Amino acid sequence: MSEFRDAQAALSQFRFRIAAAGALVLICFAVLLVRFFWLQAVRYNHYALAAEDNRIAIVPIVPNRGLILDRNAVVLAQNYSAYTLEINPSKISQDLESLINELGKVVEIYPRDRKRFKKQLDESKNFETLPIRTLLSDEEVARFAAQRYRFAGVEIRARLFRQYPLGELASHVVGYIGRMSVSDRERLEDASDVNDERGQDFDSRIDIANYRGTDYVGKVGVEQSYETTLHGITGFEEVEVSAGGRAVRALSSTPATPGDNLILSLDARLQYLVEHLFGDRRGAFVAIEPATGDVLAFVSKPTFDPNLFVEGIDSETWKSLNEAPSKPLFNRPLKGTYSPGSTYKPFMALAALSTGKRTPEQSIADPGYFMFGNHQFRDDKVGGHGIVDMYRSIVQSCDTYYYILARDLGVSAMHDFMKPFGFGQITGIDIIGEARGVLPSPEWKRAVYRKAEQQKWYPGETISLGIGQGYNSFTILQMAAATANLANRGVVMQPHVVRVIEDAVTRAHTLTTPKESYRIPLLPAHIDLIHQAMVGVNKEGTGARAFTGAKYISAGKTGTAQLFSIAQGQKYHAGKTQEHLRDNALFIGFAPADKPKIAFALVVENNGFGAQAAAPIARQVLDYMLEGTWPSNVPPLMTANEKNKLLASAPPQIDKPKSADVVDPAVMLVQALSSLRKQAHPRVSTGE
């Protein structure tokens, strides 16, 4: 009986277990069904989109960068297409170094290529491809293509490269582009506009999303100031990809909009002429069209080749440029500051007339020095200039006249009069990095110096300001702008180097020439006197020798600026002075005197008297601008287009094949690889 009850209990327990197991199975199936319903019905759109994203890749199409041309359509910056060998680190399974070594057996990879790749790899934050070699020849492309199966994650791409066909010409104005660094990307991400130190923007349409796929950005010059104008609008292509990440087919495409072209106000031939006239000497030259503010020439000597920077400059070349005593990378017209010397005197005379401190007829007797307290301020001419009125003070460059005038005007009156002309002020030129210079005043000194005894303005400090020495320190750009304002009879036009922005699609032109900024209240009679005196400088004064025989009437003023003080009783001897301490030679001027088409300022560093070193450059510049006369000792500028025409007219040279030219059969693949070029944009016409 007990055995029967035990069997019944075991059977009941078995049935319970079967029921529990069945219920568990049903619950599990119910959970699965609910989950399936959730995934297939409720979350369908989400996962369908995710699956589509895995199948479709959005590939950015980098736009053509805009061209940069001079006012006569001479190309200063353009693009060309070439092959690059690129590695996608995220798709490399083997050791990267060994992969590069194996690649080096197929395509030559130089040590500088390895260094640049490693640097870019360290800076890269995403899974983009990085170039290990650029500018591959067709033979190298074919050789790699034949063995491509060996290198997963390595591919050949056709890209656009920047080129500056005239090399060093106007490099400080045009600037250059370079590979985008982490700091560049952070700057683009953080800033909604590109501001200079004035807080004003040149080109405020920065959108970091527009830089997807972009590897290069403007670093200096116009390339930097007008970065987004030149960059264009990035396009996008939807591409279906395989599970391995290979592109299968293109689904849709939004074409890129090329960047706008910039037409500069520069005259490339004038720029070339001035750079050659300087030779190996250091200095700066800026020429402006007074009526418009167009910068006709913007010279900084020595200069450099911007092509060196596009693909990353090697350390040795960078060191030679960066540490050179002549500082070729330093933008002298924009950032260098100089004492104006006697070129300041026409403005001092105009200040005297405008404030009523002098009349044109008032004269002084110049003994060759001016005593202020116990200090003797010497004139440049031993024994003095005799009886000197305002006209003669400018023509003969009499220092004593301006020592006395500075004392009578006072530092504050000089500051207030010179400021509207642009001395010690940001001109607003469309190149980032402009220096302010120093237009001294008691307020300036209190702001600059910390110690109380240094903050005090001493009356003796005012005297040397009258001849453009002392604390006066201005850029050549400011001096050229002030001269243009004087030539333009007080009408101030903001200087600029970009004259026209040309829409790359419609070819519509947008003028950047601004309206007049303001007018300096000057009496016509006062302006006429200063103009006449500056004409006298080139006819009978310190500039007369340089302008002998000129067929036009020009106005000018020579200047010589000391770089250190000479003790009383001693004389300056250039030959006994270290080269970097010798006087700077300066010249300002405009022409024709009655209707100025050009106003300019220049400095030749450590080259002595302005009449000897600077005025001859000014004469040859005006001969070219007004008469079309080209110096016989300067070879003509040959643009890229002219070089191509010359080569096309030359008889063809037929080279016999050499055995060394015969490579493996992979070279035969070159024709088949021509489709690669279609991945890049076609070559851009130079527009000359």
Residue ranges of domains in the chain: 58-264+666-679
Please say if the pLDDT value at position 676 is more than 90: no
Q: What is the mean pLDDT of residues 549-573?
A: 75
Three-point CA angle 235, 240, 244, nearest 5°: 120
Q: Which of 52-56, 432-436, 482-486, 521-525 has the lowest mean pLDDT?
A: 52-56
Residue 368 has pLDDT above 90, yes or no: yes
Q: What is the mean pLDDT of residues 566-586?
A: 61
- Distance of alpha carbon 661 from alpha carbon 433, whole angstroms: 50
Burial class (CB in 10 A: 0-12, 13-18, 19+), 208: middle
The verdict on whether omega for the bond into residue 592 sits within 30 degrees of 0, i.e. cis, is: yes
Which pLDDT value is given to residue 680?
43
The answer on pLDDT for 619 being more than 80 is yes
Banded pLDDT at 549 (limits 50, 70, 90): very high
DSSP state of 40: I
Is 171 noted as a catalytic residue in this protein?
A: no
Closest by CA to 226, choosing from 177, 267, 271, is 177
CB atoms near residue 629 (< 10 Å): 12
User: 195-228 pLDDT, tens per residue?
Assistant: 443 344 555 456 677 888 788 899 999 999 999 8
Q: Considering 300, 342, 397, 464, which one is annotated as catalytic?
A: 342
Helix-helix angle 399-409:345-355, to 10 degrees: 40
630/646: higher pLDDT: 630
CATH superfamily, with its number, for domain 58-264+666-679? Penicillin-binding protein 2a (Domain 2) (3.90.1310.10)
Of 334, 302, 362, 350, nearest to 530 (Cα)?
A: 350
Report residue 194's pLDDT band, with 50, 70 and 90 as the boundaries. very low
**Residue 250 pLDDT level (bands cut at 50, 70, 90):** low
Neighbouring C-alpha atoms within 13 Å toward the C-beta of 473: 12
| pLDDT value of residue 660 | 37
pLDDT of residue 402: 97
Of 133 and 523, which is predicted with more confidence?
523
> Where does the pLDDT of residue 188 fall: very low under 50, low under 70, confident under 90, or very high at 90 and above?
confident
Higher pLDDT, 39 or 500: 500
Beta bridge partners of 566: none
Mean pLDDT of the chain: 85
Mean pLDDT of 313-329: 91
pLDDT value of residue 679: 44
For residues 338 and 561, which has the higher predicted lDDT (pLDDT)? 338
Mean pLDDT of 523-549: 97
- Do 164 and 79 touch, CB atoms closer than 8 A? no
Q: pLDDT-based confidence at 14, cuts 50/70/90?
A: confident
**Predicted pLDDT at 663:** 38
When mean pLDDT is compared across 274-283, 314-323, 346-355, 525-534, the lowest value belongs to 314-323
Query: Cα separation of 152 and 259, whole Å?
Result: 34
Question: What share of the chain has pLDDT > 70, as a percent?
Answer: 82
263, 502, 587 from 511: Cα distances, Å: 10, 9, 31
pLDDT of residue 665: 39
Task: Give the start-end residues of each E strand in 18-140.
Answer: 56-61, 68-69, 75-87, 130-136
Q: Name the H helices within 165-280.
A: 171-174, 182-190, 221-225, 227-231, 268-278
Query: Could you tell me the two tokens for 53?
Result: 């994203």
In whole angstroms, give the CA distance from residue 658 to residue 655: 9
Position 119 confidence tier, pLDDT thresholds 50, 70, 90: confident
What is residue 676's DSSP assignment? G
Question: Quick one: pLDDT at residue 55?
Answer: 62
pLDDT band with cut points at 50, 70 and 90 for residue 340: very high
CA 91 to chain centre: 37
183 vs 410: which has the higher pLDDT: 410
Q: What secondary structure, in 3-state letters, does 125-139 show? A: CCCCCEEEEEEECHH
Q: Where are the alpha helices (DSSP H) in 232-382?
A: 268-278, 307-310, 315-322, 332-335, 345-355
- State mean pLDDT over 23-45: 79
Of 93-107, 301-315, 425-439, 604-618, the poorest mean pLDDT is in: 93-107
CA dist list (Å): 349 to 93, 390, 406: 77, 7, 10
252-294: pLDDT as tens digits:
788 889 999 999 999 999 999 999 999 999 999 999 999 999 9
User: Residue 135's pLDDT band (boundaries 50, 70, 90)?
Assistant: confident
Token representation of residue 661? 């030219």
The predicted structure's pLDDT at residue 54: 55
Q: What number of residues does the chain have?
A: 688
